[in-house]
Amino acid sequence: MDNFIVSARKYRPSTFESVVGQQHITNTLKNAIKNNQLAQAFLFCGPRGVGKTTCARILAKTINCQNLSPQIEPCGECDSCRSFQQGNSFNFHELDAASNNSVDDIRSLIEQVRIPPQAGKYKIYIIDEVHMLSQAAFNAFLKTLEEPPSYAIFILATTEKHKILPTILSRCQIFDFNRIRVEDMANHLASIAQKESVNFDSDGLHLIAQKADGGLRDALSMFDQIVSFSNRNVTYKAVIENLNILDYDYYFQITDKLLTENVAEALLIFDTILANGFDGNNFITGLASHFRNLLVGKDAATLKLLEVSDGIRQKYLAQSQSSSVAFLLSALNIANQCDLNYKTSKNQRLQVELSLIKMCHIASAMNLAQMPPDAAGELKKKLEPVVSSPKTTPEPVVPAQTQPVSAPNLQSQAPAPQPESYVSEPPSEPIKKPEPVQEKPKLTVPLNGMPTSASLIPNLKELSGAPKKEEEQKPEYLSGEAREYFSEIELIRLWNDYAAKMKQATKLNLFTLMTTTAPKLLDDFQIEVQVENKIQENTLMLEKIDLLNFLRTELKNFAIDIVSRQAEQSTKKKLYTSSEKYQHMVEKNPKLEEFRRKFNLGID
């Protein structure tokens, strides 16, 4: 039985041309060799499994090759290439800094550098995981790295460039290796599968490439594992079963249920996913990625950004046509919020289920929120009978010209009070002056107590029928079904915009109230405003309707409410009037009063 060699070693690139996904680096190195512009030190950095050590070995093999090809590739047949391939070359030295990171190891390396090559032109020293060297070892290596012999070339490789001293970085040519693209990785796996006579489908190889997260070595390790698991038949189903990956079909199915607002089926699919052993956080992050792919698939120009096979790409294209951009953005926001709250939640399953329920009702919640601004007037007229009715006892209906009305009855038919305020404490003083309609009946009632018809009819029309112009122009609370979720940052931005409008409208009392303390977002979309006195509380109550209508319309949430909270009384008295400010100044300097009287000055 022959010894099995893993694919990561068996198919390790031996030439620059065979390196996968790093053409920007291989082309630079080939040009440097061709023009004889090799630096004395190179630093290869990047994530794991992208070819750092492989490129270092190919570079070491190429610069000592005696018969370079026109493409600047090693011949593989000369004495230098054969000794390198057999591992007995005296011009090539590789050091693992993870286990040889002391000052003594670096001193031993420096002693070797002093010996010139016996055969060949260069001696190459590769130090892998160079960031593991100690501080003293780095300092001992500095002088040799800056001024090495002409025949010595150092190649440093690391996955954590930020841990290397800046003095080391300044002495090296730095090459940053990229993560390997999914498409390049899948094509490389397909070529290996053909060489090994392994059956495969493109969906399965794409899934392996995505799971590898840019590292070709990880992809080759998973490929070997699945080849053994599936008995040399790499299929999409085999990859899903072996690597414990959530199938694309789950996301397509649950998205269809969300679009049709089928809450029960969506929850059942999520229960099936949990029963198969998958984590809820893994599911919600995958669902967010699915929504992102649907957004990308809505435009033909961005369709190439989907790192999936052609069959899966067509599925994304089909489902993206039935999904609106507004739905996908709202669902992405909900999924992202669930991901942020998942780890801190005590009931993590409920957290995901609530998010799915919210996603199911996105379409119905957006019906009202997506209305154009021109329809606001029609919406207000439709909501007027509901909004304008006060919560207190309803206004009695007076029949027109059916029976005489006495003066006391006219007193009771005065306009009903305004709807209750949403502030925490009702104002102690009346806000608006009483309407003069209460005094008119008294002037038209004769001594016998019977009112005249000429004076009675206009008042009846005014009380029972047509409202006054001031009442018609009175703003009403807008209501609706939209319940869009919003952050406290969005609230404060709109709050400041409205405050700026109040400043332009010279409503300085409301502007001062809104800019003194920022609002606080409570549960159930309640906005808490801190007031310091009754004056500010009355100002808030007067302007509350316009402010609420502005926030509800802009945030697309008609459940928003404003409550006030009385600020804690400070021991220091605040001065509001000119007299109070002047008395405070006189207490500090009594001569100020004599100065005012002498020159007959006013306080204001």
Per-residue burial over 475-498, b if 16 or more Cβ lie within 10 Å, else e, is eebbebebbbebeeeebeebbeeb
Cα(545)–Cα(540) distance, rounded to whole angstroms? 9
**pLDDT grade for 333, boundaries at 50, 70 and 90:** very high
Are 203 and 236 a contacting pair, CB within 8 Å? Answer: yes
Q: Are residues 69 and 159 in the same domain?
A: yes
Q: What local confidence, expressed as pLDDT, does residue 383 receive?
A: 45
Of 228, 243, 258, the last residue of a domain is 243
Per-residue model confidence as pLDDT tens digits over 209-218: 888 888 888 8
Residues 235 and 253 in one domain: no
**CA-to-CA distance for 206 and 189, rounded, in angstroms?**
9
User: What pLDDT digit, counting tens, does each position of 231-256 carry?
Assistant: 888 888 888 888 878 888 889 999 99
Q: What is the pLDDT of residue 382?
A: 52
pLDDT surpasses 50 at 483: yes
Q: Give the residue-averaged pLDDT of 458-478.
A: 49
Cα separation of 290 and 284, whole Å?
10
Q: Is the pLDDT of residue 439 over 70?
A: no
Nearest CA among 157, 211, 222, 158 for reference residue 7:
222
| pLDDT number for residue 420 | 42
Phi, psi dihedral angles at 171 (to 5 degrees): -100, 5
Q: Could you give the CA distance from residue 53 to residue 156 in angstroms, rounded to a whole number?
A: 9
- Alpha-carbon separation of residue 525 from 322, 327, 498, 531 (angstroms): 31, 21, 18, 19
Of the listed ranges 42-56, 71-85, 248-262, 471-485, the one predicted with least confidence: 471-485
- pLDDT score recorded for residue 368: 55
pLDDT (average), residues 293-309: 83
When pLDDT is cut at 50, 70 and 90, the band that residue 448 belongs to is very low
Cβ count near 172 (within 10 Å):
20
pLDDT of residue 464: 41
Inform me whether the pLDDT recorded for 426 exceeds 60: no
Amino acid in the structure at residue 191: S
At residue 2, the pLDDT reads 62
Residues 150 and 17 in one domain: yes
Q: Is residue 300 part of a domain?
A: yes
Residue-range definition of the domain harbouring residue 279: 248-366
Q: What value, to the nearest 5°, has the Cα angle with vertex 426 and ends 423 and 437?
A: 115
The confidence band for 43, taking pLDDT boundaries of 50, 70 and 90, is very high
CATH number of the domain at 338, please.
1.20.272.10
Is 161 domain-assigned? yes
| CATH number (domain holding residue 129) | 3.40.50.300
20 shares its domain with 132: yes
| Same domain flag for 203 and 111 | no
Same domain, 219 and 254: no
Residue where one domain finishes, among candidates 124, 157, 176? 176
Task: Tell me which of 185-194, 230-239, 515-524 is least confident.
Answer: 515-524
pLDDT tier at 352, thresholds 50, 70, 90? very high
Q: Which two tokens stand for residue 601?
A: 């000055």
Give a yes or no: residue 402 inside a domain: no
CATH of the domain at 188: 1.10.8.60
Q: What is the pLDDT of residue 334?
A: 92
| Non-local CB neighbours of 159 within 8 Å, separated by 6+ positions | 45, 46, 47, 48, 52, 129, 131
Is residue 384 in some structural domain?
A: no
- Per-residue burial over 96-106, b if 16 or more Cβ lie within 10 Å, else e, is ebeebbebebb
Indicate the pairing of strand 526-531 with strand 520-521: antiparallel
Query: What size, in residues, is the chain?
Result: 604
Q: Are 481 and 364 in contact (CB under 8 A)?
A: yes
Lowest mean pLDDT among 14-18, 72-76, 380-384, 523-527: 380-384
What Å distances lie between residue 351 and 71, 347, 485, 526, CA to CA? 59, 6, 16, 22
- Average pLDDT across the chain, whole number: 79
Residues 43 and 145 in one domain: yes
Please report, as a single letter, which amino acid is at residue 189: L
Q: Phi/psi at 174 (nearest 5 deg)? A: -100, 130
Asked whether the predicted pLDDT for residue 187 surpasses 60, the reply is yes
In a domain, 400, yes or no: no
Residue 401 has pLDDT above 60, yes or no: no
- Tell me the average pLDDT across 367-387: 53
Structure tokens at 50: 């992208």
Helix/strand/coil for 564: strand
Which pLDDT score, from 0 to 100, does residue 576 have? 64
pLDDT over 70 at 438, yes or no: no
Q: Examine the domain organization and report whether 452 and 437 are in the same domain.
A: yes
Q: Which residues of 550-575 are buried (b: 16+ CB within 10 A; e: fewer)?
A: bbbbbbbbbebbbebeeeeeeeeeee
Phi, psi dihedral angles at 4 (to 5 degrees): -80, 135
- Read off the pLDDT of each residue in 334-357 and give the average, rounded to a whole number: 91
Q: Is residue 511 within 8 Å of 547, Cβ to Cβ?
A: no
Which pLDDT does position 598 carry in this prediction? 84
Selection from 492, 474, 320, 297 nearest residue 387 by Cα: 474
Asked if 26 and 129 sit in the same domain, the reply is: yes
Residues 434-463: what's their mean pLDDT? 43
Tell me: pLDDT of 151 over 80.
yes
Mean pLDDT of 502-527: 82
> Residue 369's pLDDT is what?
58
Whole-angstrom CA distances from 397 to 97, 390, 415, 444 are 94, 15, 12, 22
Cα–Cα dist 320/314, whole Å:
10
DSSP string, 306-364: --S-HHHHHHHHHHHHTS-HHHHHHHHHHHHHHHHHHTT-SSHHHHHHHHHHHHHTHHH
What's the structural domain count of the chain?
Answer: 5
The residues pairing with 421 across neighbouring beta strands, listed in sequence order, are none
pLDDT mean over 114-130: 87
Say whether both 451 and 494 belong to one domain. no
Question: Are the CB atoms for 427 and 537 separated by under 8 Å?
Answer: yes
Establish if 391 belongs to a structural domain: no
Residues 130 and 38 in one domain: yes
> Strands 152-158, 123-128: parallel, antiparallel or unpaired by DSSP?
parallel
Please, which pLDDT band fits residue 306 given cuts at 50, 70 and 90? Answer: confident
pLDDT of residue 372: 59
Please say whether the beta carbons of 133 and 106 come within 8 A: yes
Which amino acid, one-letter code, is at 339? D
Q: What gap in Å lies between CA 54 and CA 58, rounded to an integer?
A: 6
Average pLDDT over residues 48-57: 90
Residue 523: CATH number of its domain? 3.30.300
Lowest mean pLDDT among 65-74, 110-119, 389-398: 389-398
Mean pLDDT of 125-144: 90
Half-sphere exposure of 54 (CA within 13 A, CB side): 25
Specify the pLDDT at position 574.
60
What per-residue confidence (pLDDT) applies to 405? 40
54 and 108, same domain (yes or no): yes
> What mean pLDDT comes out for the span 60-84?
86
The answer to whether residue 480 is domain-embedded is: no
Q: Which of 122, 145, 176 is the last residue of a domain?
A: 176
- pLDDT tier at 381 (50, 70, 90 boundaries)? low
Task: Report whether pLDDT(386) > 60.
Answer: no
Q: Would you call 125 exposed, middle or buried from its count of C-beta atoms within 10 A (0-12, 13-18, 19+)?
A: buried
Nearest to 41 by CA among 160, 143, 179: 143
Residue at 501 is within a domain:
yes
| Residue closest to 536 by CA, chosen among 515, 506, 505 | 515
